[in-house]
Structure formats: structure tokens, C-alpha cells
């Protein structure tokens, strides 16, 4: 039995899995390691604090892993995986979904109907024309980094949602036009 089937895939599990298994492919990791060894890239570690020195045009960063040791640089790449939260998102699209009544979990995931991926409204009913897929929904697949031709769970979910969207579009296109009122 797969580990993902034994555990409830809550936001903590998704973050833990992403921490352990996400990242660039092998060749890119080797390039990044080479840049680190050459002193071009420096990894800071967990719980990073960043300050800006506007006068000198620098970032000044410190990690809790090495208290008191600062790194100064002109470029900073921030590469953490943020917690999902529809309530606090800066995305105008996701913010509008939340404000218009889409349901979320206590952990911030967008609630979608597991049957076809329709976004669930506050009243518990799936929206007739809104669909969502991905890791920040309640139907996210437990298998990360699915590759083509592997029959991954995410591909099956995407296929079901695509069929539902195509059916909706076909039904709308086949409706007779509304009568004109004079």
C-alpha cells in the first residue's frame, strides 16, 4: 500500500513531501552545486531573516541555523514553498473566488468536488461553471512529480475535469439562442 494512501494528505504532509522530494532535476542540481562550490551561490538554511540596505543596494540575510552570521548580496532568490491560504492570497483571481463565496478548509485549501473538480461554494453546492485543479485544492493527487506515460493520479483527475469542462462547453454551444424581445 502506498504511503500517500495511509496518510491524510493535509497541508503539513504536502509541505513535508515537497521539502523532501521537490526541486530541480539532477543535472540542474549538479549545476547549482557547482555554482555553490565556486562561491556564486550560497544557501542560507531555515528561518531566514532578510533586511535591505537601500543606501548600498544590498540584501543582508541571516539564518537561524547560523545565528550572528550574515550574508550580504546584490541578488536574492527566495525559494520557499508558501502555505496555501485562499483568505490571504495576493492572487486577484483566487481572492475573487474567495470573496464570491468559494469554500476553503481550515488549512486554506480550495474545496472542490472530487467527482469533477468543480469549485464548491459556501452553501456546499458545486459551482456550475468553475473548476480547479492542483496542490492547493482538496482533490490534489498524493503522487508528486508525475511523469508522462506513467498513469499518475493527477493525470486521471485532470482528464475527468477536462471532460466535465468540454461537456459544459458543448451543452452551452448547442443551446438555441434566446428569443429576441421587441
Which residues are bridge partners to 50 per DSSP?
A: 61
pLDDT confidence tier of residue 148, bands split at 50, 70 and 90: low
Q: Vertex 119, ends 113 and 121: CA angle to 5°?
A: 100
| Whole-number pLDDT of residue 6 | 47
Residue bearing the bigger pLDDT, 129 or 14: 129
Checking if the pLDDT of 115 tops 80, the result is yes
Non-local (6+) Cβ contacts of 161 within 8 A are 116, 117, 131, 133
Residue bearing the bigger pLDDT, 63 or 23: 63
What is the value of pTM for the model shown?
Answer: 0.56
> Residues 21, 24, 30, 32: what is their CA dihedral angle, to the nearest 10 degrees?
-110
Return the beta strands (E) in 3-122 as ranges: 48-53, 58-63, 70-73, 118-120
**Between the CA of residue 96 and those of 63, 90, 99, 101, what are the distances in Å?**
35, 10, 5, 9
Amino acid at each position: 500500500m502506498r504511503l500517500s494512501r495511509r496518510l491524510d494528505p493535509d497541508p503539513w504532509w504536502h509541505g513535508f513531501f515537497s521539502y523532501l522530494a521537490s526541486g530541480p532535476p539532477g543535472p540542474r542540481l549538479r549545476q547549482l552545486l557547482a555554482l555553490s562550490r565556486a562561491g556564486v551561490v550560497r544557501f542560507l538554511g531555515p528561518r531566514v531573516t532578510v533586511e535591505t540596505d537601500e543606501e548600498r543596494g544590498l540584501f543582508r540575510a541571516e539564518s537561524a541555523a547560523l545565528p550572528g552570521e550574515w550574508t550580504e548580496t546584490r541578488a536574492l532568490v527566495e525559494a520557499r514553498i508558501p502555505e496555501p491560504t485562499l483568505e490571504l492570497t495576493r492572487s486577484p483571481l483566487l481572492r475573487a473566488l474567495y470573496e464570491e463565496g468559494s469554500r476553503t478548509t481550515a488549512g486554506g485549501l480550495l474545496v472542490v468536488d472530487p467527482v469533477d473538480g468543480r469549485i464548491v461554494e459556501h452553501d456546499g453546492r458545486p459551482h456550475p461553471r468553475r473548476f480547479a485543479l492542483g496542490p492547493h485544492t482538496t482533490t490534489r493527487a498524493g503522487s508528486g512529480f508525475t511523469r508522462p506515460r506513467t498513469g499518475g493520479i493527477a493525470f486521471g483527475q485532470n482528464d475527468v475535469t477536462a471532460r466535465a469542462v468540454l461537456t459544459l462547453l458543448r451543452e452551452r454551444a448547442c443551446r438555441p439562442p434566446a428569443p429576441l424581445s421587441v
